[in-house]
Amino acid sequence: MEARKRAYARYSGFKVGAALEATDGRIFTGCNVENASYGATCCAERTALFKGVSEGARKFKRIAIVAATKGPCPPCGVCRQALYEFSPNLEVIMANTKGEATVKKLAWLLPLGFEKGRLRKS
């Protein structure tokens, strides 16, 4: 919830906050940062992930995501794939500002995620 307050959602007004826990216990927060070109926008989940990776974390336990949505807020497909690269079995806590929440494993949210092994030439 705290990370969501820092969101830069000047165009959509859709503010999202995330907190990503590394396996060593460190927490990395993120908010969405929009851009007038839209394609340069970064979601809260990837902001948290990139902060974690830039600080040396490579494995993560769980991520919490919150937004003012009707039900719990799931990560977008791009964020699912980015997180999958580091932790396919990540616990994803999806919540909204009304306190509704649900928990799923990332592999359930992204079955058959693209991974390094698929890059091999046949």
The pTM (predicted TM-score) of the whole model is: 0.93
45 is catalytic: yes
> 120 or 86: whose pLDDT is higher?
86
Is residue 119 one of the residues assigned to a domain? no
68 part of a folded domain: yes
Is the residue at 116 inside a domain?
A: no
Asked whether residue 54 is assigned to any structural domain, the reply reads: yes
Query: What would the pLDDT profile of 3-21 be if each residue is shown by its tens digit?
Result: 999 999 999 999 999 999 9
Query: How far is the C-alpha of 32 from the C-alpha of 61, rounded, in Å?
Result: 21
pLDDT greater than 90 at residue 117: no
pLDDT over 80 at 120, yes or no: no
Whole domain around residue 21: which residue ranges? 3-111
Express each pLDDT in 77-105 by its tens digit: 999 999 999 999 999 999 999 999 999 99
> Whole-angstrom Cα distance, residue 116 to residue 31?
28
Spell out the alpha helix ranges (H) of 36-76: 44-54
- Catalytic-labelled residue, pool 2, 21, 34, 45: 45
Count how many domains the chain has: 1
Q: Could you tell me if 68 and 60 are in contact, meaning their C-beta atoms sit under 8 angstroms apart?
A: no
> Within a 10 A sphere around the Cβ of 100, how many other Cβ atoms?
13
Closest CA to 46 of 34, 26, 101: 34
What is the band of 122 on the pLDDT scale with cuts at 50, 70, 90?
low
**118 part of a folded domain:** no
Residue 11's domain is classified under what CATH number?
A: 3.40.140.10
The tens digit of pLDDT for each residue in 48-58 reads 999 999 999 99
Indicate whether 45 belongs to any domain: yes
Tokens of 110: 């992204």
